[in-house]
Homo-oligomer: A and B are copies of this chain.
Amino acid sequence: MSDTIKYLLSEEQMPKDWYNLAADLPVPLPAVLHPGTLQPVGPDDLAPLFPMALIGQEVSTERYIEIPEPVRQVFRQWRPSPLHRARRLEEALGTPAKIYYKYEGVSPAGSHKPNTAIPQAWYNQQAGIRKLTTETGAGQWGTSLSFAGALFGIEVQVFQVRVSYNQKPYRRAVMETYGATCVASPSELTQSGRAILAQRPDHPGSLGIAISEAVELAAQRDDTKYALGSVLNHVLLHQTIIGQEAIAQLAMAGDDPDVVVGCTGGGSNFAGIAFPFIGLQLRGGRRRRIVAVEPAACPSLTRGKYAYDFGDTAHLTPLTKMHTLGSTFTPPGFHAGGLRYHGMAPMVSHCKELGLIEAVAYHQKACFEAGVTFARAEGIVPAPEANHAVKGAIEEALRCKREGKSEVILFNLCGHGHFDMAAYSDYFSGKLVDQDYDEAELAMALSGLPSVPA
């Protein structure tokens, strides 16, 4: 069937385990440090925030970790997700390359985020937790945790970055439809929120601030924990179901990717598609190019420093070694809110340092242009975050055209843009502009990195 455009696995072919890259890394991940003692944190340090099962996954070096059956049962509503051959996009570009995309927008929440929201909610339910707090930027993560909370009877309190809260009232409506509560951050609900509002009542918020608020609230009560949608090892672990499915689906198609592309904010969807392929290589497989695409306005991998830093603005989190723009860095208010994070997942950063991945940065207008090209060819309107991956894949396809190469390109289309059409409106009306970060602010944020002896 030369014209096949969709590769589906049966429910029985859905991976039964998550793949843990830590098992195959040639150099172990640098330790997570307690910000006071600068000593490696232990499970007890994390226990106020996470149930022990997730802490175990955070530090595990087992290669495969079983996906609990109740989690798989929920996944089966939409997983295995489809792999598509983008034949119409190939034709539109006139490229000899084959372009495949793994489509995670088929989840009820519209993105890859339920891949970790569901297990996180389930492990918390098993630990007797009644409430979860979290932050959200554009809203993909808050939506997904709200969905997961509804399924497992867990109350969900979302702190949404104020600028997104105001720009996207419909996102809040989705979270409320799932029964969650969503407030604008900085908020009056927490000490860290009140402190910021006292200084600047109209503060637009940031992911770093929202994390501080959610962490603060969770640490106060035994029946309440915190859930993070990216960055942490166990979150990246949960996303590896994407890449594992993609490997099986490309085998169905009789193809093997030369280039694997994902967008990076905190790093979870990128890790989801990339880590299983990196694992193949580390276990003796062939070398593939693995390309992380990030926003030029918040370029942690391409312009950040690889150093120990806090995950949040109020410095309530442990220190992790990662590519960071500094925890006080506030990126411009561009439309891919899910990529507006000052840091990068330590595991993704580590891969970059080890030369296992490449990184490239694009401005948002070029990414929306790529997204529109994709939508007109393939019918799916990508999320602004996903447009970065689309742009990365199209650039690779055009390179193949110039070089006359028929390479196989795989990218992760991590979510649809149905809740982000205001950004497309702005794009069409010419209101969407490329924003650059402030070089002086970046320098100041980097100068404030915590001092950690080597």
Closest partner residue, chain B, to A382 (CB atom): B177
Q: Which residues of B contact A169 (CB under 8 A)?
A: 421-422, 425
Q: Which residues of B contact A5 (CB under 8 A)?
A: 73, 76-77
Q: Which residues of B contact A10 (CB under 8 A)?
A: 8
Q: Are B73 and A3 in contact (CB under 8 A)?
A: yes
Q: How many residues of A contact B (CB 8 A)?
A: 46
A4 to B88, CA, bound (A): 34
A178 at the interface (CB under 8 A from B): yes
Q: Are B424 and A176 in contact (CB under 8 A)?
A: yes
A378-B76 in contact given A88-B151, A173-B422, A424-B177 (Cβ < 8 Å) = no
Interface-facing stretch out of A104-112, A265-273, A310-318, A344-352:
A104-112
A421-B77 in contact given A6-B11, A178-B376 (Cβ < 8 Å) = no
A151 to B374, CA, bound (A): 11
A379 to B4, CA, bound (A): 30
A10 to B7, CA, bound (A): 10
A41 at the interface (CB under 8 A from B): no
Q: Are B418 and A419 in contact (CB under 8 A)?
A: yes
Q: Pick the contact of A379 from B150, B173, B377, B425 — CB < 8 Å?
A: B150
Q: Pick the contact of A6 from B76, B150, B179 — CB < 8 Å?
A: B76
Min C-beta distance of A119 to chain B, whole Å: 15
A439 to B196, CA, bound (A): 56
Q: Are A177 and B73 in contact (CB under 8 A)?
A: no
Q: Which residues of B contact A416 (CB under 8 A)?
A: 418
Q: Are B425 and A170 in contact (CB under 8 A)?
A: yes
A380 at the interface (CB under 8 A from B): yes
A76 to B7, CA, bound (A): 10
A298 at the interface (CB under 8 A from B): no
Q: Are B6 and A77 in contact (CB under 8 A)?
A: yes
A378-B108 in contact given A5-B76, A170-B421, A421-B170 (Cβ < 8 Å) = yes
A421-B379 in contact given A73-B5, A76-B6 (Cβ < 8 Å) = no
Q: Pick the contact of A174 from B11, B151, B421 — CB < 8 Å?
A: B421
Min C-beta distance of A168 to chain B, whole Å: 9
Q: Are B421 and A421 in contact (CB under 8 A)?
A: no
A173-B425 in contact given A6-B77, A379-B151, A418-B419 (Cβ < 8 Å) = yes
Q: Are A110 and B150 in contact (CB under 8 A)?
A: no
A306 at the interface (CB under 8 A from B): no
Q: Which residues of B contact A419 (CB under 8 A)?
A: 418, 421
A147 at the interface (CB under 8 A from B): yes
Min C-beta distance of A19 to chain B, whole Å: 24
A179 to B92, CA, bound (A): 14
Q: Which residues of B contact A174 (CB under 8 A)?
A: 381, 418, 421, 424
Min C-beta distance of A454 to chain B, whole Å: 47
Min C-beta distance of A110 to chain B, whole Å: 7
A419 to B173, CA, bound (A): 11
Q: Which residues of B contact A378 (CB under 8 A)?
A: 77, 108
A452 at the interface (CB under 8 A from B): no
A102 at the interface (CB under 8 A from B): no
A162 at the interface (CB under 8 A from B): no
A4 to B72, CA, bound (A): 11
A113 at the interface (CB under 8 A from B): no
A342 at the interface (CB under 8 A from B): no
Q: Which residues of B contact A376 (CB under 8 A)?
A: 150, 177-179
A377 to B149, CA, bound (A): 11
Q: Are B428 and A176 in contact (CB under 8 A)?
A: yes
List residues 1-41 of chain A with CB under 8 A from any CB of chain B: 3-6, 8, 10-11
Q: Which residues of B contact A88 (CB under 8 A)?
A: 151
Q: Are A173 and B421 in contact (CB under 8 A)?
A: yes
A372 at the interface (CB under 8 A from B): yes
Given contacts A77-B378, A110-B418, A169-B425, 6 further A-B contacts (CB under 8 A): A77-B84, A108-B381, A177-B375, A177-B428, A178-B376, A178-B379
A-B contact pairs, 5 of them (CB 8 A): A108-B381, A110-B418, A173-B424, A173-B428, A418-B418
